[in-house]
Structure 1
Amino acid sequence: MAALIGERAWRRDAAGESGGAVYRLVGGGDLYLKWGEHAVAQAIADEAHRLWWLQGRMPAARPLSFVTQDAQAWLLTAALPGRSGDAWLERDPALLPRIIDAFASFLVQLHALDPAECPFRADAAVRIADARRQVREGLVDEDDFDPDHEGWSAGDVLAEVERLAPIAKATCVTHGDFSLGNLILDEGMTVTGCIDVGRLGVADPYQDIAIFWQNLAEHGPAMQQRFLDAIGLRQPDADRLALHRCLDELF
């Protein structure tokens, strides 16, 4: 990757909770480099394959190079112009309605992709298998649960996931971690691309809907309803929201 990186300056990006390392490489067209080993390396590989698949289908970060060696992985991508949704919100909270509308428009387009063309599975069975491993290995941060799950154990949340799992419907291409930090928008609030797509795959649309809906909880029910209206879902399925919110708690 040295020829692609050139003489750019390296800046560590502390955002995210992947367990690997992310660097912004500045100068002559900024780049991002992700590195990780073992399980993180697999997650980076998952993201690389999905970014290549997204090219020409949806706005997404452009992968430039991917290398794996000795249980390690490196992914180099071109930086997208703009800021993440949460970065814009921190800069100007009044932008929230426009950010919601931009995210909703992107999500409608993503969910309209032909799932038959997507080679990646992310349905409830896949996610629950991963969730069981998270719980078994003690990797769930119970102190980070949402207020309505306060006092629950990871086992309690997993039991609720397994109870609700039969209602999931794997019908569309989902982002998998559709949160305010994972779309980049320009100054006109147009989405320039998505990032952190390692969980992208065919799944229940509520996989994305539930995460973003919960993201908006601190901004009040009116903003949550604005999002639901924008995607054409005036009356959401409460059980499917609960299922995918619980699943998200385990990662």
Structure 2
Amino acid sequence: MSIPTEPVAAPDVVRRLAGADRVVPVWANELGGLTFRLDPVSDAVPVSEANGTRRARYVKWRLLSAAHPGEADLADEAARLAWAASYTPVPRVLEHGRDDDSEWLVTEAIDARTAVDPRWIAAPQTAVRAIGVALRALHDALPVADCPFTWSVEERVARVLPEKADPGTLARLADAPDLVGPVVCHGDACAPNTLLHDDGTWAAHVDLGRLGVADPWADLSVAALSTVWNYGPGYEHLVYESYGIDPDPDRIAYYRLLWDAT
């Protein structure tokens, strides 16, 4: 996943949703899925119930033909966002739609920056500590007993991609560690999915398409690893410190292997 560096043509449905508003491509994944920001330049954007001001919107769009078994369905993401919104800051769902070829999800923008915004790339210690604090707050806030969604080892292993299902990997994945927790996990706790206020405190989480009950290390291991991808080496320990937990090498290794395989 990356910020587009070349011009991106907005699909027809995105242009329709935008109306007169400015369409800005902000994210692209390796399967052709795209995310656009619709910046308000007219009355096309609804008034926010929170403060009476117009907010930008985000549109996630993907081709149905490009989906694979490990990718979150946008209808599932809409359901998870709607559930989580009662307990923790997440984007408000405005619309989910689907046609013969594609599907899309429209959410209201949150007044905050992703943890991989250039401002926070330049201040990695602040960003990484906020990621750990935010993940702990998410795990503490979401009620396991009331969560209708799961992200278990068993269901994830069942979706291992064929090209990654070599015998050695499968044997290691079959030897799962005992479940710790559990908590309601984010499901994609990489650095870009934490939003920060300008003072460096966490603001919200986005991209909750895999949210579900699981071992907290399923999130922690990937959150720490993603700091290497986004900020360089030397910051992983800050995720664990700010979360308030000591590293568990065995669980870290297992859940990173599972992440890579699925």
Find 1:172's aligned residue among 160, 183, 195: 183
Tell me, yes or no, if structure 1 residue 34 matches structure 2 residue 60.
yes
2:110 to 57, 80, 85: 80
Q: Any residues of structure 2 matched to 1:118-129 within 5 Å, and which?
A: 118-129=147-158
Q: Is the 8 A contact 2:132 2:238 kept in 1?
A: no
Match of 2:134 among 106, 112, 116: 106
Deviations 1:102-126 (A, max 9, x none): 1122111211122011110001011
Q: CA deviation at 1:217?
A: 4.0
Name 1:45's counterpart in structure 2: 75
- Structure 1 gap segments, 5+ residues each: 141-152
Kindly state the Cα deviation for residue 226 of structure 1 after the two structures are TM-superposed: 2.4
| 2:36 alignment partner, one of 9, 13, 23 | 23
**TM-score by structure 2 length?**
0.77
1:4: Cα distance to partner? 6.6
Corresponding residue number in structure 1 for 2:90: 60
More helix by share: 1
* More off after superposition, 12-21 vs 23-32: 12-21
The alignment partner of 2:73 has SS state of helix
Shift of 1:91: 3.5
**Does structure 1 conserve the Cα–Cα contact (< 8 Å) formed by 2:28 and 2:34?**
no
Alpha-carbon distance, 1:206 to partner: 0.3
Q: Quick check: 1:229 aligned with 2:258?
A: no
Q: Is the 8 A contact 2:133 2:202 kept in 1?
A: no
Assess, with a 3 A threshold, how the Cα gap between structure 1 residues 213 and 67 changes in structure 2: closer, same or farther.
same
Aligned partner of 1:9 in structure 2 is: 22
Q: Post-superposition shift, 1:55?
A: 1.0
Amino acid at match of 1:109: A
Q: Percent identity?
A: 31
Distance in 2 between the 1:226 and 1:10 partners? Answer: 36
Asked if the contact 2:130/2:242 (under 8 Å) is kept, the reply is no
Query: How many angstroms apart in 2 are the aligned matches of 1:193 and 1:16?
Result: 21
TM-superposition CA deviations, 1:141-186 (whole Å, max 9, x none): xxxxxxxxxxxx85543432223x2434461100011111111112
Q: How does 1:186-205 map to 2 (within 5 A)?
A: 186-205=197-216
* Contact 1:60 1:193 (C-alpha < 8 Å) held by counterparts: yes
For residue 73 of structure 1, what is the amino acid of its counterpart? E
Q: Report how far residue 250 of structure 1 moved.
A: 2.1
**Inter-partner Cα distance in structure 2 for 1:92 and 1:166:** 34
Q: CA RMSD in A?
A: 2.6
**RCO higher in 1 or 2 (8 Å CA, sep ≥ 6)?**
1
Q: How far off its partner does 1:78 sit?
A: 1.1
Instruction: Please give the TM-score of this superposition, normalised by the length of structure 1.
Output: 0.80
Asked whether the 8 Å contact 1:158–1:246 carries over to 2, the reply is: no
